Amino acid sequence: MATDYFADIPTITYRGPETDDEFAYRWYDKDRVVLGKTMAEHLRFAVCMWHTFCWPGSDVFGPGTFQRPWAAHAHTPEGAAMKRDAAFDFIRRLDVPFYCWHDVDVSAHATNVADCGRFFGEAVAHLEQLQADSGIALLWGTANLFSDPRYAAGGATNPDPEVFAWGAMQVRAALEATHRLGGANYVLWGGREGYETLVNTDMKRELDNLGRFLALVVEHKHKIGYTGAILIEPKPFEPTKHQYDFDTATVYGFLKRYGLEDEVRVNIEANHATLASHTFEHEIATASALGIFGSIDANRGDYQNGWDTDQFPNSVEELTRATLEIVRAGGFTTGGFNFDAKVRRQSIDAADLFHGHIGGIDTVAKSLLNAAAIIEDGRIDAFRAQRYAGWDGELGRTIHTEGTGLADIADLAIARNLDPQPRSGRQEWLENLLNRF
Ligand code: XUL
Ligand code: CO
């Protein structure tokens, strides 16, 4: 079963900002060198399997609106293969280097352990072939421990240890498949690792079980010799009322508690950051400061709706601030920009999938150029450096010297008769400067 669903769409190439071509990049010029690396190396774009090839265009008030040729059969092994072929055809035409999956996105639908193993095994063998033929690589794999009704009360945090064990079965298979396919990262998003009400929830036990699960994943990673990064994707709520991986800082506290802060990093999603009442760049800067920055799920929310709308990013201004933090953090190592984004329910055509991705890619690419210009200009970073310059001086160093106590510093303030004066933070001037880019 093959499909020519995308046959009318040409391969997307860079044509520059003046082009009228709707199937071209205006800013993403993959071989252009920016701050010492090509744009492709900086941005490491990935297409996600779930929104782009699995989601039917349904919402809570109505069924799917899309008529993808593979959709009606995707629960069967033949239909799942057709979906995988279509996905690689799409990614090849988009000319991006990576893709991402959940186990259930690429596999036929299984209801028992035997089919689970068989269907997923077939899928992975096929993906290995598709990757080899196309040169498209796996940015990350993950296991879906939230859609099947058996996960209604969570995966690792389920009150029933049999569900924990089912989850272990799925995650072992997905982690080993990620290893086999050369995936750069393995992601855990705790979709239902949280609670609806404390009336029925033993939080301490659930947190300990989640910590146990993560420790087992890390241990297995080392056992099989997988060298990619393990990433947790924070999200404050949705689908559960309260999720344990609320935001980057909460995840860090959790990792510290279970001794995993050197083993696990974060996959930061823009829309999850805004749901947690943070800016996207706040989450990136937090991860960078704590040494756990991993990867990005690129999308945007809606400032009026306040739920996870997963739209394609389209604000160069917002993305510039985020990209600046990524560059300041030293850029990606294993991570990249995965489009965890979906076209709207009325955008039913094959072309719409391209327009969504082209717009998102160009928005991020233009933002990288802006961030590079800001860094090359140097005035903002120079202001920041000068603002903290005292910490490189004698007093700053003394405060940080091992053995200096609170009383020593207090005595010093008295002895020197210190009288520190407020200085302008120059926010308006800096914001004006930023806007010029
Ligand atoms: C859900 C979400 C997931 C993860 C992978 O909000 O972002 O798609 O990225 O499980
Ligand atoms: Co995501």
To the nearest whole number, what is the mean pLDDT of the chain?
A: 97
Question: Does residue 105 have an active-site annotation?
Answer: yes
Q: What angle do CA 392, 331, 91 make, to 5 degrees?
A: 170
The confidence score (pLDDT) of residue 306 equals: 84
Sign of the CA dihedral running 46, 108, 51, 358: positive
What pLDDT does 329 receive? 96
Same domain for 226 and 261: yes
* pLDDT value of position 132: 98
Share of the chain above pLDDT 90, in %: 98
Indicate whether 41 pLDDT > 80: yes
> Which residue has the least CA distance to atom 3 on ligand 1?
189
| Residue 173, domain CATH | 3.20.20.150
Q: Are residues 111 and 149 in the same domain?
A: yes
Question: Per residue in 327-338, pLDDT tens?
Answer: 999 999 999 999
Three-state secondary structure call for residue 197 = coil
Closest by Cα among 324, 219, 224, 326 to 266: 326
177: in domain: yes
Residue 239, in any domain of the structure: yes
Task: Report the alpha-carbon distance of residue 322 to residue 367 in Å, rounded.
Answer: 8
My answer on whether 322 and 182 are in the same domain is: yes
Q: What is the pLDDT of residues 85-129, one digit of tens each?
A: 999 999 999 999 999 999 999 999 999 999 999 999 999 999 999
205 Cβ neighbours under 8 A, 6+ residues apart: none
User: Is 271 inside any structural domain?
Assistant: yes
pLDDT at residue 71 tops 70: yes
State residue 315's pLDDT score: 97
Task: Tell me, yes or no, whether 427 and 334 share the same domain.
Answer: no
% of the chain at pLDDT higher than 70: 100
Q: For 181-231, how does the pLDDT look when each residue is reduced to its tens digit (9 = 90+)? A: 999 999 999 999 999 999 999 999 999 999 999 999 999 999 999 999 999
**Ligand 1 closest atom vs CA 267:** 9
Range of the domain at 416: 390-435
Distance 269 CA to ligand 1 centre (A): 8
- On whether both 337 and 407 belong to a single domain, the answer is no
Say whether both 355 and 416 belong to one domain. Answer: no
Domain check: are 13 and 94 in the same one?
yes
155, part of any domain: yes
Point out the ligand 1 atom lying closest to the alpha carbon of residue 308.
6
Is residue 7 located within the same domain as residue 74?
Answer: yes
Q: At what angle do helices 350-377 and 316-328 cross, to 10 degrees?
A: 60
Q: Distance, CA 427 to ligand 1 centroid (Å)?
A: 35
How far is the CA of 46 from the CAs of 49, 325, 340, 406, 427, in angstroms? Answer: 10, 20, 9, 50, 35
In 335-405, where does DSSP find H-type helix? 350-377, 379-387, 394-400
pLDDT tens track for 139-158: 999 999 999 999 999 999 99
Pocket mutation for ligand 1, best pick of 142, 144, 189, 247 (most atoms within 8 Å of C-beta): 189
Which of 377, 398, 422 marks a domain boundary?
A: 377
Q: Using CA of residue 121, residue 122, residue 127, residue 133, what is the dihedral sign?
A: positive
Provide the b/e sequence for 226-251 (b: ≥16 CB within 10 Å): bebbbbbbbbbeeebeebbbbbbbeb
Tokens standing for residue 272: 């999850």
Residue tagged 């072929």 (tokens): 85
196 is a domain residue: yes
Note if the bond before 239 is cis, omega within 30 degrees.
Answer: yes
Taking every pair of Cα atoms in the chain, the longest distance, rounded to a whole number of angstroms, is: 83
Ligand that comes closest to the CA of residue 51: 1
* Mean pLDDT for the stretch of residues 428-432: 97
Q: What is the CA radius of gyration of the chain?
A: 24
Do 350 and 428 reside in the same domain of the chain? no
Mean of pLDDT values over 375-379: 98
- pLDDT for residue 2 is more than 80: no
Total structural domains in the chain? 2
**pLDDT band per the 50, 70, 90 thresholds, residue 307:** confident
**Predicted local distance difference test score (pLDDT) of residue 1:** 64
Catalytic residue among 42, 51, 89, 102: 102
- Ligand index nearest the alpha carbon of residue 240: 1
In a domain, 78, yes or no: yes
Residue 3 has pLDDT above 90, yes or no: no
Q: What is the CA(57)–ligand 1 centre distance, in A?
A: 16
Its pTM stands at 0.97
Residue 93: inside a domain, yes or no? yes
Mutate-to-test residue for ligand 1 from 171, 269, 283, highest number of ligand atoms within 8 A of CB: 269
Dump pLDDT digits (tens) for 312-361.
999 999 999 999 999 999 999 999 999 999 999 999 999 999 999 999 99
Q: Are residues 50 and 85 in the same domain?
A: yes
The pLDDT tens digits of the residues spanning 384-423 come to 999 999 999 999 999 999 999 999 999 999 999 999 999 9
Residue with tokens 């297409």: 47
- pLDDT score for 242: 97
On the question of pLDDT at 79 being above 70, the answer is yes
Which residue is closest in CA terms to ligand 1's atom 10?
189
Domain check: are 256 and 401 in the same one?
A: no
Strands (E), 161-292: 185-188, 194-195, 229-232, 242-243, 264-269
Instruction: Measure the N-to-C terminal CA separation of the chain; round to a whole number of Å.
Output: 49
Whether residue 122 lies inside any domain: the answer is: yes
For residues 103 and 166, membership in a common domain is answered with yes
The verdict on whether 102 is a catalytic residue reads yes
Specify whether the CB–CB gap between 74 and 86 falls below 8 A. Answer: no
Q: What angle do CA 76, 102, 125 make, to 5 degrees?
A: 60
Quick one: which atom of ligand 1 is closest to the CA of 269?
7
H or E segment to which residue 114 belongs: helix 113-134
User: Which of the following is catalytic: 29, 105, 308, 362?
Assistant: 105
**Residues lining ligand 1, CB < 6 A?**
50, 102, 142, 187, 189, 233, 235, 269, 297, 308, 340
The rounded Å distance from CA 266 to ligand 1 centre is 13
If you measure from the C-alpha of residue 48 to the centroid of ligand 1, how many angstroms do you get, rounded to a whole number?
10
